[in-house]
Structure 1
Amino acid sequence: MMLFLLSSKWIGFSLFATGISGMLLYDVMLPPTLSIWDKIGDLLANSMWNSLDSWALTALPLFILMGEILYRTAISTRLLNGLVPWLSKVPGRLFHINVVACSLFAAVSGSSAATTATVGKITLDELTRRGYDKGLAIGSLAGAGTLGFLIPPSLIMIIYGVLSDTSIGKLFVAGVVPGILLAIFYSVYIMGYSALRPGSLPQVEEEYTWEDRLIALKDLLPVFALIVLVLGGIYAGITTPTEAAAIGVVGSLGLAAMYKNLTLGNLKEAFLSAVKTTGMICFIIAGAAFLSQVVGFIGIARALSAYIASLHLSPYLLILVLGIMYLFLGMILDGISIVVMTLPIVLPIVQQAGFEPLWFGVFVVFMVELSQITPPVGFSIFVIQHIAKEDVKTILKATFPFFCIMVLMVVLVTIFPEIIFYLPEHMM
Structure 2
Amino acid sequence: MDPLILGAIVAVATILVLFSGVSVALGLLIVSGGFLVIFDGMRSLELMPEILFGKLDNFALLSIPMFIIMGASISSTRAGADLYEALERWLTRVPGGLVISNLGACALFAAMSGSSPATCAAIGKMGIPEMRKRGYPDGVAAGSIAAGGTLGILIPPSVTMIVYGIATETSIGRLFLAGVLPGLLLVGLFMAWSLYSTWKSGDTNLLSARSYTWKERFEVLPRVVPFLAIILGVLYAMYGGIATPSETAAVGALLCLIIAIAIYKLWHPRDLWVVLRDSTKESVMILFIIAAAGVFSYMLSSLYITQSIAEWIGTLDVNRWVLMGAVNVFLLIAGFFLPPVAVILMAAPILLPIIITAGFDPIWFAVILTINMEIGLISPPVGLNLYVISGIAPDIQLKTILLGSLPFVACMVVAIVLLCLFPGLATWLPDAIMGARQ
**Is it true that 1:267 corresponds to 2:272 in the alignment?**
yes
The equivalent of 1:292 in structure 2 is 297
**Is it true that 1:423 corresponds to 2:429 in the alignment?**
yes
The equivalent of 1:385 in structure 2 is 390
The equivalent of 1:398 in structure 2 is 404
> Given the alignment, which residue of 310, 328, 336 partners 1:331?
336
Distance in 1, Cα, partners of 2:205 & 2:359:
48
The equivalent of 1:65 in structure 2 is 69
The CA deviation at 1:200 is 7.4
Q: 1:281 to 1:37 in 2, by over 3 A?
A: same
User: What letter matches 1:109 in structure 2?
Assistant: S
User: What letter matches 1:61 in structure 2?
Assistant: P
Deviations 1:253-285 (A, max 9, x none): 122111113321111111111111111111111
The CA deviation at 1:417 is 0.7
**Equivalent position SS for 1:376:** coil
> Given the alignment, which residue of 81, 84, 88 partners 1:77?
81
Distance in 2, Cα, partners of 1:415 & 1:237:
32
The equivalent of 2:200 in structure 1 is 196
Q: 1:352 to 1:204 in 2, by over 3 A?
A: closer
The farther-off stretch of 181-190 and 356-365 is 356-365
The equivalent of 2:149 in structure 1 is 145
> Given the alignment, which residue of 112, 124, 149 partners 1:120?
124
The equivalent of 1:109 in structure 2 is 113
User: What letter matches 1:321 in structure 2?
Assistant: A
> Given the alignment, which residue of 208, 213, 219 partners 1:215?
219
Distance in 2, Cα, partners of 1:260 & 1:220:
15
**Equivalent position SS for 2:220:** helix
- Aligned residue runs from structure 1 range 113-262, under 5 A: 113-199=117-203, 201-202=205-206, 204-257=208-261, 258-262=263-267
User: What letter matches 2:343 in structure 1?
Assistant: I
The CA deviation at 1:81 is 2.2
The equivalent of 1:21 in structure 2 is 34
Q: 1:201 to 1:162 in 2, by over 3 A?
A: farther
Give the total of aligned pairs: 419
The CA deviation at 1:218 is 2.2
Distance in 1, Cα, partners of 2:256 & 2:67:
10
Deviations 1:120-149 (A, max 9, x none): 112112222333333212111111110000
The equivalent of 1:48 in structure 2 is 52
The equivalent of 2:327 in structure 1 is 322
Contact residue 120 and residue 389 of structure 2 kept, 8 A: yes
Deviations 1:90-128 (A, max 9, x none): 221211122111111111111111111111112112222
User: What letter matches 1:89 in structure 2?
Assistant: R
> Given the alignment, which residue of 22, 25, 28 partners 1:12?
25
Distance in 1, Cα, partners of 2:172 & 2:209:
45
**Equivalent position SS for 1:90:** coil
Distance in 2, Cα, partners of 1:412 & 1:173:
18
User: What letter matches 1:6 in structure 2?
Assistant: F
The equivalent of 2:413 in structure 1 is 407
The equivalent of 2:8 in structure 1 is none
Contact residue 150 and residue 362 of structure 1 kept, 8 A: yes
The farther-off stretch of 323-332 and 255-264 is 255-264
| TM norm structure 2 | 0.92
Distance in 1, Cα, partners of 2:400 & 2:144:
13
Contact residue 109 and residue 148 of structure 1 kept, 8 A: yes
Q: 1:25 to 1:283 in 2, by over 3 A?
A: same
User: What letter matches 2:256 in structure 1?
Assistant: S
Distance in 1, Cα, partners of 2:36 & 2:137:
55
User: What letter matches 2:165 in structure 1?
Assistant: G
The equivalent of 2:355 in structure 1 is 350
The CA deviation at 1:323 is 0.7
The CA deviation at 1:212 is 2.9
* Structure 2: runs of 5+ lacking an equivalent: 1-13
Distance in 1, Cα, partners of 2:204 & 2:23:
43
**Equivalent position SS for 1:331:** helix
RMSD in angstroms over aligned alpha carbons? Answer: 1.5
Q: 1:197 to 1:265 in 2, by over 3 A?
A: same
Identity, % of aligned positions: 36
Contact residue 83 and residue 216 of structure 1 kept, 8 A: no
